[in-house]
Structure formats: C-alpha cells, structure tokens
Amino acid sequence: MLIYDTHTLAGVIEDRLWNPSTFLLDLFFPYVQDFDTETIDFDILTTKAKLAPFVHPDASAKPTTNGGYVTKTFKPANIKMLTAVKPSNTLKRRAGEPYGGNMSPAARLDALMFDIFDEHERAILRRKEWMAAQALRFGKIDVEGEDFPKQTIDYGRPASHRVVLAGVNRWGQAGVDVLDTIETWATTVQDACGVAPNVVVLGSGAWKLARADEKLMKLLDLRRQASGLIELGPISVNDVSRARYVGTIGDFEFWVYSQNYQDDAEATQPFLDPLELILGSPAVQGIRASGAILDVDSLVPQDIFRKSYNTENPSRRQAYSEAAPLVIPSRPSAALCAKVG
C-alpha cells in the first residue's frame, strides 16, 4: 500500500532560504522605538575623556561639562506596498493543497492575504537591513525613491572610520599583517568613542584574504561558546542570518556575512561588499525607529501599518502595508568599515 499516491501531496515546507537576514540589525541595532510624529529626533552620543582638574584646596570648584549628545531631526521616507488579489485567484488550488482542492474560496482568500502581508514584511525587513548596512559602512544613508528626492542622513561619524586599503597595503600583499591592521583600527575606534570593538564582520572575499594569513589562522580559536558550553557542531540549518561564525582571537569575535538583495533593476547586490569588513560592538547602541503613519486608520505608533479593503469595477481585495523606518546608530563612532582588497 502506497502512503503517498500521485494525487496526494506532501505539505509545502516553507523555503527559509528566502527569509530575510537581520544579522546586522540584531547585532548592532537591537533597540526599537516607534514615534507618533512625522519626524524622528535622534541623539548622537559624544564622548569626552577629560582629566579631573587640580585646584588649590582653598579654591572654588569650576563648572565642568560632561560628554553630551547632538540631536538631529529627519523626516523618513515612507515605504508603501499594495498588492491586489483577483477573485479568480481564490479558485485555484494552493501549493500543498490536495488535487481537486479542499479549501473554500473564502479560506483561500484569507490564506492569500496572510502570504501577501508576510511578503510585505519580509521586503520591509530587507530594507531595514540595507539601511543598517549603509549606516555601518559609510556612517550615512542616502534615501531616494519615487517622488522622494535624494536626501542624505549623515550621522557624523569620523571620516577616519571609513578605510580603503590600496596598493601594497591591501590584505594578501607581501608583508601585510591582517591582525595588526585590525588592531590598529580597533585603537582608532576606541580612541573615538572610549569603547574597544569586539566584533569583526567580514565579507566573503575579505575572509578568503584573512584566512590566507598564517599568523591569524594560528591564533584563531574555531570553537563556539554559548552559556558556558563549547559548541563544536555546525550552525543550524534553520539559521537564516546568512552569517557564519569562524572563530575568536582574544576579545575579537569573527563572523562571515553573505546576504544579497535585489535592487530596483532586479540585479543582485550584496548588503556588505565582499571585500569589506565592519568592526564594531554593542556600544553602537543602534535603534530601529519608525515615524508616524499618516492614515486615519493608524493613530498609534507602530512598526508596520497594515490594512485590507475592497475596490470595485473590477472587484479586487487590496493588501496594503506602510512603514516609515529609520535606523539610528546612537554612537556612530563605535563602528568602522574597511575595504581590504
């Protein structure tokens, strides 16, 4: 007796390979804040390393200033996604549904709407991950779209935190010490923000150059550790972060990040240039912010606003999603990006 015949289909397994990665968001932008205003005010933290002053015992204390912050304001561009469902779409068997169908048209419509809103959310997450990558790579984000002239959100990161190695200084060239360059950049970050970076995120090409360095590979500890337990097994197949842990050296934790997206021309682009690395730490204190959605049905702060409504002649069910996202590195000088090859 056959368990599955030609008229019985196995349930469809969700293709997790297409789930969006939020590795950079999760690592550097863990905080969430939704605003009830069109504009987003964000504070850029500044750091001062002053010494306490000496004074005569009988002298009066003089006022001193602490490290403070600079407040910037930006009106984020809106993301709007609209998908129409035709009545005829509800008459077709869905993937995984038995031949002949066992769902009513109304049930299929509900399932279609769920799938559409899910895809809208994935696309918005990809856009947020792209914004996180831009902020970490360049210290600024260029926002441009249909009916939205190009605007640059500049977080005021020091120019020295964007490095491009050239000529004989590139990784892989004779005499270039990969670990020494990373430690030099770590000093640059610590001098700027007061916190030493401990995470190195490498593009696939940068990792190939790094692993060709004998000194680095001899020092690299390939074991993973979580909750005090050493993990020697492979990364879970359900991990869709597109990031691969490759080891530690001292306080540095090394990851290889390979995640792509499709641009407006449907060309595949990497979130992180394969020959780049990002050096940072949780001290970035990144925030995922959302501006207010100007819709009478959306009167509360929220990450993504969704609604469904019918239109006539021709009859359609519309699935609508809107968001106004902005990522904010509260301490932009806590990250550095370098192109190494």
The secondary structure of 314-331 as a DSSP string is TTEEEEEEEE-EEEEESS
Q: Tell me, what's the pLDDT at 33? A: 92
Higher pLDDT, residue 64 or 172 = 172
Task: Report whether pLDDT(285) > 70.
Answer: yes
Higher pLDDT, residue 2 or 190 = 190
Q: Tell me, what's the pLDDT at 67? A: 53
Tens-digit pLDDT profile for residues 204-252: 999 999 999 999 999 998 765 554 444 444 444 445 557 899 999 999 9
The band of 155, judged by pLDDT with boundaries at 50, 70 and 90, is very high
Q: How far apart are CA 208 and CA 204, in angstroms?
A: 6
Q: Tell me, what's the pLDDT at 58? A: 64
Task: Report whether pLDDT(3) > 70.
Answer: no
Q: Render the burial of 109-129: b for 16+ CB within 10 Å, e for the rest.
A: beebbeebbeebbebbbbbbb
Q: How far apart are CA 181 and CA 277, in angstroms?
A: 12
CB 72 within 8 A of CB 42: yes
Q: Tell me, what's the pLDDT at 269? A: 96
Strand partners, 337: 162, 278
CA distances from residue 86 to 91, 99, 194, 263, 339 in whole angstroms, order as listed: 10, 21, 57, 27, 48
Domain definitions of the chain by residue range: 20-43+72-339
Q: Tell me, what's the pLDDT at 9? A: 36
The band of 50, judged by pLDDT with boundaries at 50, 70 and 90, is low
Higher pLDDT, residue 168 or 41 = 168
In the chain, the amino acid numbered 323 is A
Q: Tell me, what's the pLDDT at 160? A: 97
Task: Report whether pLDDT(292) > 60.
Answer: yes
* Residue keyed to tokens 């030099």: 184
Mean pLDDT of the chain: 85
Q: How far apart are CA 185 and CA 279, in angstroms?
A: 8
**H or E segment at 188?**
helix 178-193
Q: Render the burial of 223-255: b for 16+ CB within 10 Å, e for the rest.
A: ebeeeeeeeeeeeeeeebbbbbbbbbbeebbbb
The band of 63, judged by pLDDT with boundaries at 50, 70 and 90, is low
CA distances from residue 257 to 26, 89, 132, 270, 290 in whole angstroms, order as listed: 13, 38, 13, 10, 26
The band of 70, judged by pLDDT with boundaries at 50, 70 and 90, is confident
* Residue keyed to tokens 């984020």: 76
Higher pLDDT, residue 105 or 57 = 105
Question: Nearest-5° angle of CA 156, CA 33, CA 200?
Answer: 55
Confidence (pTM): 0.85
Highest averaged pLDDT of the listed ranges 66-70, 177-181, 229-233? 177-181
Task: Report whether pLDDT(5) > 50.
Answer: no
CA distances from residue 42 to 71, 95, 143, 287, 322 in whole angstroms, order as listed: 6, 45, 17, 9, 22
Q: Tell me, what's the pLDDT at 225? A: 56
Least confident of 61-70, 106-115, 188-197, 207-216: 61-70
Looking at residue 282, the DSSP 8-state letter turns out to be G
Q: Under CATH, what is the fold of the domain 20-43+72-339? A: capsid protein of prophage fold (3.30.1930)
122-128 mean pLDDT: 95
Q: Tell me, what's the pLDDT at 47? A: 63
Least confident of 111-115, 142-146, 185-189, 214-218: 142-146
Q: Tell me, what's the pLDDT at 72? A: 79
CA 113 vs. chain centroid, Å, equals 26
Q: Tell me, what's the pLDDT at 223? A: 67
Alpha helices (runs of H) in 59-168, residue ranges in sequence order = 105-138
